[in-house]
Structure 1
Amino acid sequence: MLGSGEPEPQPIMRIVENEEVVEQATSSAFIEANTTVVSYQEIQKDHIIPVYVKDNEPLISQADFIQTTFEAVTDLFKGEQILQPQIRVSHPIKGRIPDAKDKPANQLQEWERTLYYERMMFVIEIPSVLDVIDGNQLALTIGGVKAYNLDNLYTKKGGIEHFKLFIGFQNKVCTNMCVSTDGYLNDLRVSSLEQLKNEAYHLLGAYNQHRHLQQMQALTEYSLSEQQFAQLIGRCRMYQYLPSANKKEIPALLYGDSQLSLVCKDYYKNNSFCREEDGGISLWKLYNLFTGANKSTYIDQFLDRSVNALDFASQVQCALDGGASSWFLN
């Protein structure tokens, strides 16, 4: 079991026995905005668990979510290398024990403080399941998001709890997450850990990694000229301010001005995905500029924007291929 029998956090977590779990390689973060790195042991041992107000029963903990997902991964991917989960958290909820209620904050002892994080995201990489697109290695990756702010705590145990769960690929060049609609449960609602486990098994078992890879590979065969890129980004910025009636007629774009500014910056400066000498850029590189910009997104929106990036790139591909016209390129 994860962390069982270990008095201190270890560099390699062995969540289940008899599986090859290897140390996470040093790399840049898969998400950066407003997040903090934590270990599983810290979440399990040091963070309190929110409870339902009416009966004081605990919600499904972030540690149990990670544990359950990891068990499903190790069961369905036997014999593969599985890296320890990378975990990032945000929005700390601080408190103190009753005996310390009157102490000044600067006099609190560590054991008098309480803490949990409202939002948590984790990823589990399987580096032995690899593919290559345009010279970029992609490793199969599974993960999820737990955000307590989405749950109704003013009820009794047995109420609906919200989770996000995904399976996709991580681009090893940049640690960008590549997630498709078919590999994503964006509003997983369960009332028990058993239901959560069943949904994890179903998602992982039903995911078609070959179709996902083919969808991304196809992006390498299409390119935008510099003029088309400028038109696209201009329309992306305009999209946010369109009247609601007009937006309903256009495929959704979830990226805001701050992310689009990063896309523009990296179009010129990114070492791996910048423009060609003539200003052109492949849709694969454009897609990675969007997924790279997504690292500045908060945890609760990260996966939705990851999926949206691939949908958006595929819609542009369809327009370039002579299919349905795209408002973003008109």
Structure 2
Amino acid sequence: MFSLKVSNTFFNLLKNNQCNNIIDFKQPFHRWLAPTLKELKRRKNKLDPEKPVHRKHFLEWNYDTELYAFSKRLGERFDNNLLQSVFTERSYIINEEEKQKEVGIEKPLIDLIDNRELAEKGSSFIDDFVKRYLRTVFPKLPEEGILEIHRFLTNIDTLSNVSFHIGTSELILCSDFPVEKSTLANVLKALVGAIIESSGENQAALFVRDFILTQLADKDIHTIWKPEDPIKLLKDILSNDGIDKIEPRLIGLAGKNTILACFRVGLFTLPVKKMIGLGFGETVDIALKMAAQDSLRHLFNTLETTLIPFNLELNQLCSSTESNLFINEWSQKKLPVRPTYYKLHQLKITNIN
């Protein structure tokens, strides 16, 4: 009863316009707004998707400012002309010359330098540095594995992914847009070449380490380098050390004759009878293959729990002339004597102190 009286009093106040200064019942938008937006959305969905537009077509675009901001984001110092040549592809210069010829200019003049020389310098430096870093971090890994990981880090997909995520795609001057992967990778190589000319090889090495080598941070080395027959590879390597025979043994099983079967196989050397590997699998063959892979991980010191150091500098790496042992000559007696990461770390701490 009380609520009814309150409601009557409230509506009486509304009729007498006594609370216009308290409540405003004006609608903030028109009734036709929602149906109109829905109709525009429906018509837009019928059309083909919009083509991506380069940011240089926007009014607020300032190329010199963007180049300056890019260098500051990376924490590097570049000459403006050198940095502009990093992002200038040969196809862009050819396209601009053709445009000038179309308007009657017989000898077009383009005051730009393309990035071909910088890309060649950066590419050779990346190849050399990545190999040296991998050989230093993985001294026991065969050279075949080093080369396979090197191919993974320097292929177009990896380099273009790094180049895209540091913000080069909007700054590249080329004839095509969106920018192709090969162009993104080429610009990243040219950027490394520009760092070499601006700040030296030590600073370029830090850039390659921080942006390219760190692509291994969440990777398993043996998912990149996959030997076709790990059992045969293990036998060949052990034979170089005088171990001619290995014996697999079933040391555990669970859920036999079910869809959740699990076999546990261990590999032992004879006649010492020392276990060198352990593997699991839903069949004995799979468990044996996994045990062979586990043995190779222990031999090459590439266990899944091994953390790759990403704080080595150029002067701590092995020389360019050194290489790891190939599979056909791999032996624990022939392994190169190089300082391990622990020794390098202790040496660095000693020098700081």
TM range (shorter): under 0.3
| TM value normalised by structure 2 | 0.23
Indicate the structure (1 or 2) with the bigger Cα radius of gyration.
2
| TM value normalised by structure 1 | 0.24
The structure where strand makes up a greater share of residues is 1
The structure where helix makes up a greater share of residues is 2
